[in-house]
Amino acid sequence: MTGAFAFDQLAPAPRHGSGGGAVAGYGPSPEDVARALEAARAEGFAEGHAAGAAEAHARVASAEEALRAAAAALAADREQLADRVERAAVDLALSVAEQAVGAAIAADPELVLEAVRGALRRLVERERVLVLVHPDDLEVVRAGLQPLMDELGGVGHWEAQAERRVSRGGAVVRTAEGEVDASVQAKLERAREVLDDELRR
């Protein structure tokens, strides 16, 4: 008769915790791994966001600087353009005025006597007076100067001479003490100075 063998009952391995917890000696649980992955992902996103924000900020700052430089250059160009336009307008106005004076003198040559009268009135010393006019105005001035001297009075001696550097319609009057420039060029130049002063304000 065969004898029965008795086997000792093996005790079950102890369990720690429940569900999907970590098993002793077998590493982190799936939950631990998931949490670590989420933390790593969040950290990576934060770093990437910070880097992207820094780069975007740098680009915006560069663009703003370029816009400021462009605006400054545009403002300077506008000022220069305005200045050129204003000066061109002054030149045009004076050119038109000069042409108008020339046309008026051509129509009435005796207008030169008004320039001579204005110059003589500005003289302090009238003992000896030399009147310089354009050659085309000389005849008119010689014919009308004596009555003009009699009208103003105080002139001891006068003489009229032709001077091509004096434009038609104007006159330069000289005495021992100096001269009075009543030429058209001088009047236009004084007008230019006045206009330039106004533009600089």
Give me the residue spans of the domains in the chain: 31-107, 109-200
Looking up tokens 């816009």 gives 67
Q: Rounded to an integer, what is the distance from CA 54 to the centroid of its chain?
A: 36
In CATH, what number does 109-200 get? 3.30.2320.30
C-alpha span between 127 and 176 (Å, rounded): 8
Q: What is the pTM of this model?
A: 0.51
- DSSP per-residue codes, 179-192: EEE--HHHHHHHHH
Two structure tokens written together for 7: 């086997």
Radius of gyration of the chain, Cα coordinates, nearest whole angstrom: 52
pLDDT by residue, tens only, the chain of 201 residues: 444 444 444 455 455 444 444 444 455 666 766 676 676 666 665 666 566 656 666 766 776 677 677 777 767 666 676 677 777 776 777 676 667 666 777 778 888 999 999 998 888 878 889 999 999 999 999 999 889 888 888 778 899 999 999 989 999 999 988 899 988 887 778 777 777 777 777
